[in-house]
Amino acid sequence: MASNVSLKGKEKAGKGSKSSEERSAKCVKEWSTWAMKKAKVITHYGFIPLIVIIGMNSEPKPQLYQLLSPV
Amino acid sequence: MGSSVSHAAAPPPPPTAVGLAVALPPKQDEKAEPKNVDWLNLPCPVPFEEIQREALMSLKPELFEGLKFDFTKGLNQRFSLSHSIFMGSMEVPSQSSDTFKVPTAHYEFGANFLDPKLMLVGRVLTDGRLNARVKCDLTDNLTLKINAQLTNEPHFSQGMFNFDYKGTDYRTQFQIGNNAFYGANYIQSISPHLSLGTEIFWLGHQRKSGIGFAARYNTDKIVVTGQVASTGIVALSYVQKVSEKVSLASDFMYNHLTQDATSSFGYDYILRQCRLRGKLDSNGVVAAFLEERLNMGVNFILSAEVDHRKKDYKFGFGLTVGE
């Protein structure tokens, strides 16, 4: 029984080492897809506010009411 | 060699030998051209995607149908906000020959930040679509451009990254887009008037690739361009600047795969108070676009496109306020 257990353990270790590269490649792909999705959402909601913030902090600084008034 | 022998022999050297002896040493690096062309200092060519820009500016104005109102408010020299209203019909591209028009109305809010080194332009519509453009000068010669259209619907968003490098007499660009699109192009000045370019692209998901060649010859008065691509498209254009205010353009496009040829002829009048562009097409389309300056910063726009073959008549009017 001990030898069976050790054999099973060796087989599992063998299979694990063969597919560890595939698994890590899959992980990288999943994480990069997740990162691209998050980046897309962040860009979608944050791009225009980013431009407004950069613009309001550029010289000469415009006033806050100028953002909303049509004059 | 001849002149030194003639000096030793004391008789006066023939005038041609003296001329050559004086002229040869300083011009050893350059070819002796009659017009004194400096082949080592050719001008930088236009970017590859702008190779037909004069023809496109004259022949393809932004025609629209309906009402268009644009208001641009500058808060700063570099920062401005824009509000835009459009009410009219937009064409939906369809496979059949019938034009499919959808009445739409939308409000678009935009913010622009224009710095010499960094340009950020963003436009967002009422249905949630975002149009973003970023142009950043990383160094003197290297520029990064990002173009993105993001939508709320999944899988409809598009983005493109461009890296441009500008050399002394060449330009090169590398593009990465979504759907695994990779492209590169290169354009080089061959003479002060002629530049040749080539482009190559690869679409990952559809495993398609293509290569194209382009040439542009321009002087002060004319611009002639030609483009050939492995997708079976041949495009030629010719623009003649008749005077300061008038230029005429003509354009020919042939698609080998669909055996489709189109040619158009147009004019562009740039006058003091207005700019009038008109075009006539071989598909039976007559179009005109007028921008009239009513006052400082107020422009009145009229657009007309009459397609006799498809019996499609589009007229639009609008007002643009702000710089």
Asked if A60's CB is within 8 angstroms of B76's CB, the reply is yes
The encoded tokens of residue B100 equal 């499919």
Asked if A43's CB is within 8 angstroms of B111's CB, the reply is no
Residue B86 burial class via C-beta count within 10 angstroms: exposed 0-12, middle 13-18, buried 19 and up: buried
Closest residue in chain B to residue A59, using alpha carbons only? B76
- Strand locations in B47-193 (E): 66-74, 79-92, 100-114, 118-125, 130-137, 142-150, 158-166, 170-177, 181-189
Write out chain B's pLDDT in tens, 323 residues.
Answer: 444 444 444 455 444 445 544 444 444 444 444 567 778 888 899 999 999 998 999 999 999 999 999 999 998 889 999 999 999 988 887 777 666 888 999 999 999 999 999 999 999 999 889 999 999 999 999 999 999 999 988 888 899 999 999 999 999 999 999 888 999 999 999 999 999 999 999 998 888 899 999 999 999 999 999 999 999 999 999 999 999 999 999 999 999 999 999 999 999 999 999 999 999 999 999 999 999 999 888 999 999 999 999 888 999 999 999 86
Residue B55 burial class via C-beta count within 10 angstroms: exposed 0-12, middle 13-18, buried 19 and up: buried
Taking the C-alpha atoms of residue A56 and residue A45, their distance in angstroms, rounded to an integer, is: 18
pTM as predicted: 0.78
Taking the C-alpha atoms of residue B21 and residue B322, their distance in angstroms, rounded to an integer, is: 64
* β-strand partners of B235: B227, B253
Report the SS3 class of residue B190: coil
Interface of B with A (CB under 8 A): 71, 73, 75-79, 81, 109, 111-113, 115, 120-122, 124, 128, 130, 132, 148, 150, 152, 157
Residues B121, B276, B298, B302, CA torsion sign: negative
| Phi, psi of B49, deg, nearest 5 | -75, -10
Ordered by where they begin, the domains of chain B are 48-322 (2.40.160.10)
